[in-house]
A and B are shown apart, each in its own frame.
Chain A
């Protein structure tokens, strides 16, 4: 393990801001749930009512986790924040490990490091240590901030759960980084594991059949923060993380540096017709895995949401209260309102593939590959349009597929196919705010490639404003900045043309501005 200290310091030096934002963001997420609950239910009576309304609700349980001690602020916090908080620490650990292992190998920087006086296992160890430090820091800060307003024991249990989930998924990333030879594939594999863990615990929590024990997120929730804490499930998280770590080190000994466990196979020695001659084929070939992955994920999320079915009203004790809690606004039948809210969430997700695909153009520019392509007869405008068209199509398709998935899920549970077009339309209409966000991203990219990732920040703001904005009682004008605010909550609210036309016009102006700016600026 020679040179580990120096390497660890290098990593920490490179990651300091990233670590700070991750840890602070995770802590704020947990803390805001506690704060929001306290603000929403100032008296114990109100909290008891809410708890009674939520306890038996399968949809809530599927989304958040097993209902325990919901009549306490702590119980509510653990319930609302637990699963998502663990996913956040898992993502943090995944990105940290991926960044310092496979991404470094792919870029060739790892070779430079390994050529110095450094042990064969040191880079793996140093990457692992960064993730361990980050997870422990996140857990500690979560526990410390929560314990200012909640009992310390439960706060610590939540912190330990968050840290443990981070360790588990970090260690899983370490293993994946040994097996596959591309960073993208590492993130894809761990992302699927994260999503799978969430689904397993959702099914297990609703059905009560023990399936939650197959999910690391379930282990974290089995610690029962704020309702008679149990500490031994933490051992499952940390222990399995340790086992995965050992597996990763063992795999490292069996492979060549720079490649995965599988040797790279040769491919075609000439280009197929499908790669085309106009730049579109190439753009699609490059974007295909990412776009299809996003669309698949949106379809699955939609499907899962659709299976809530129409029994919600029976499950919810007090409809008025649940309405307050769950629904983003509007009036009408409760089921419709609930689905309106779900459609909004899927619609927010549909911006993901659009922004990611737009930023692919930037990645091509950063890597210098845009330069190579633009030295051919492909005009700059068409090169950009190739990526933009894929981004637009991905966003629209994401909304439609998410809605279709919802309808399909509903069909599976109720046997009623009539909701498929309704849900497809209800989510599909969010293609408009998605295109507005894409327009914002494209304009930023046109102004300069370093601004482009702020497109994610724009989406982050919309998610924040639409999901917690009302609870936090943000001012109306601030909510109005989010294009999602102006879309009627179908199917609960009636369809309206005005926002559709206005948002379409705004999107067109932004996309046009971005395209024009991109044509004028220096590239490469």
Chain B
């Protein structure tokens, strides 16, 4: 395993279904040892992208590289080195969870018995029950155990925690952290922003089949505004009209404003001249980032 190519490398990916353009020039880059958040509203093309990466769907145009191969041509070879957890896990109703975990592991080329037992215990799954009797969360746990118990380099996770309770979500987070610590890469599609903020190093935001934003959380925050609340001795006159200041609201000695992230220094300097009594600044959350891309379009934001 001296292969050092990126885990996922997608450029200009287009996929159409009949007249519907599901993916419209999507770019996505996931490095080794990185947990990459894949964000977007329902129908943005996240699951389609994952299916292209799995070699289930064939790309119309664009380049797609998965590890060191082509996901369509080298599907089986590459799949030995990755594990996938679908968003809506469908299992064979007459097989038990344990049987399914083992079967998926064997098909992938092997399963670590110790990790299997550990993941089952941490996710509190009863592997002796028939899949017919599992809830959505338990079905998801079966797929997650099968994924985490395999000795793989890459995890493709499609909204993996949508059926898990908060405690299990935390356990899931730990498993992801440990996987990354072991050098693995994770592509995590989600719209639970707190989860992405906690787990992900980098984030790509898709909308309408296109990547609209990509980078580290710090980089993305740079593109947005920090909200500042301050109480001053007196309000400097030049605050009004200062470049990078938005939504300025002055009430007596109290000032509220939104500052462009790259202008915070200048803004605080001006505020300082007014004699700061109290100052709070709130960095932009992922939620604001997200809303910036979807909130302005009611059709997409829904």
Which residues in A have some Cβ–Cβ distance to B below 8 Å? 106, 181-182, 259, 264, 266-272, 275-279, 281-282, 285-286, 367-369, 371-380, 382, 520-524
B90 at the interface (CB under 8 A from A): yes
B23 at the interface (CB under 8 A from A): no
List 8 other contacts, CB 8 Å, given A281-B103, A368-B90: A266-B130, A268-B98, A279-B107, A369-B90, A374-B56, A374-B75, A377-B107, A377-B108
Which residue on A lies nearest to B150, using beta carbons?
A376
Instruction: Report the tally of A-B residue pairs with Cβ distances under 8 A.
Output: 122
Residues of A within 8 A of B123 (CB): none
Is there contact, CB below 8 Å, between A375 and B89? no
Residues of A within 8 A of B177 (CB): none
Size range of the chain B interface in the assembly = 35 or more
Is there contact, CB below 8 Å, between B98 and A271? yes
Complex A-B: 27 CB contacts under 8 Å: A182-B132, A259-B133, A264-B130, A266-B96, A266-B130, A268-B99, A270-B98, A270-B99, A270-B102, A271-B99, A271-B106, A275-B103, A276-B106, A277-B107, A368-B86, A368-B88, A368-B90, A372-B89, A374-B55, A374-B56, A374-B75, A375-B83, A377-B76, A377-B80, A378-B79, A380-B75, A524-B56
Q: A270-B99, A369-B90 are in contact. Are A378 and B56 (CB under 8 A)?
A: no
B10 at the interface (CB under 8 A from A): no
Is there contact, CB below 8 Å, between A372 and B99? no
A259 to B93, CA, bound (A): 13
Is there contact, CB below 8 Å, between A377 and B109? yes
Q: A369-B92, A373-B104 are in contact. Are A266 and B128 (CB under 8 A)?
A: yes
Which residue on B lies nearest to A375, using beta carbons?
B84
Which residue on A lies nearest to B108, using beta carbons?
A376
Is there contact, CB below 8 Å, between A375 and B106? no
Residues of chain B in range 155-181 having any CB-CB distance to chain A below 8 Å: 156
Is there contact, CB below 8 Å, between A269 and B86? no
A278 to B76, CA, bound (A): 12
Residues of B within 8 A of A524 (CB): 51, 56-57
Q: CB-defined interface of B204-219 with A at 8 Å, one 1/0 digit per residue?
A: 0000000000000000
B278 at the interface (CB under 8 A from A): no
Residues of A within 8 A of B126 (CB): 266
B14 at the interface (CB under 8 A from A): no
Residues of A within 8 A of B51 (CB): 371, 524
Is there contact, CB below 8 Å, between B54 and A375? yes
B25 at the interface (CB under 8 A from A): no
Is there contact, CB below 8 Å, between B84 and A372? yes
Q: A267-B130, A374-B56, A524-B51 are in contact. Are A369 and B91 (CB under 8 A)?
A: yes
Residues of A within 8 A of B54 (CB): 371, 374-375
Is there contact, CB below 8 Å, between A285 and B90? no
* Interface SS of chain B: mixed
Residues of A within 8 A of B79 (CB): 374-378
Residues of A within 8 A of B89 (CB): 372
Which of B57, B99, B143, B156: most chain A Cβ within 10 A? Answer: B99
A259 to B130, CA, bound (A): 12
Is there contact, CB below 8 Å, between B96 and A267? yes
- The 3 A-B pairs of least Cβ separation, nearest first, read A271-B102, A375-B84, A277-B106
Is there contact, CB below 8 Å, between A376 and B104? yes
**Which of A259, A368, A372, A377 meets B77, CB within 8 Å?**
A377
Residues of B within 8 A of A259 (CB): 133
B94 at the interface (CB under 8 A from A): yes
* Interface SS of chain A: loop
Is there contact, CB below 8 Å, between B75 and A267? no
B127 at the interface (CB under 8 A from A): yes
B191 at the interface (CB under 8 A from A): no
**Which of B86, B96, B106 meets A372, CB within 8 Å?**
B86
Q: A286-B92, A374-B56, A375-B54 are in contact. Are A267 and B128 (CB under 8 A)?
A: yes
Is there contact, CB below 8 Å, between A181 and B107? no
Residues of B within 8 A of A277 (CB): 106-107
A111 to chain B, nearest CB (A): 12
A9 to chain B, nearest CB (A): 29
B58 at the interface (CB under 8 A from A): yes
Is there contact, CB below 8 Å, between B98 and A371? no
B95 at the interface (CB under 8 A from A): yes
Q: CB-defined interface of B58-85 with A at 8 Å, one 1/0 digit per residue?
A: 1000000000000000011101101110
Residues of B within 8 A of A368 (CB): 86, 88, 90
Q: CB-defined interface of B105-139 with A at 8 Å, one 1/0 digit per residue?
A: 01111000000000000000011111011000000
B93 to chain A, nearest CB (A): 7
**Which of A268, A367, A376 meets B90, CB within 8 Å?**
A367
Which of B57, B103, B126, B129: most chain A Cβ within 10 A? Answer: B103
Residues of B within 8 A of A378 (CB): 76, 79, 107
Residues of A within 8 A of B91 (CB): 369, 372
Is there contact, CB below 8 Å, between B55 and A266? no
Is there contact, CB below 8 Å, between B76 and A106? no
A368 to B56, CA, bound (A): 11
Residues of A within 8 A of B95 (CB): 267, 285
Which residue on B lies nearest to A276, using beta carbons?
B106
Residues of A within 8 A of B127 (CB): 269-270
Residues of B within 8 A of A523 (CB): 56-57
Residues of B within 8 A of A380 (CB): 55, 75-76
A377 to B129, CA, bound (A): 26
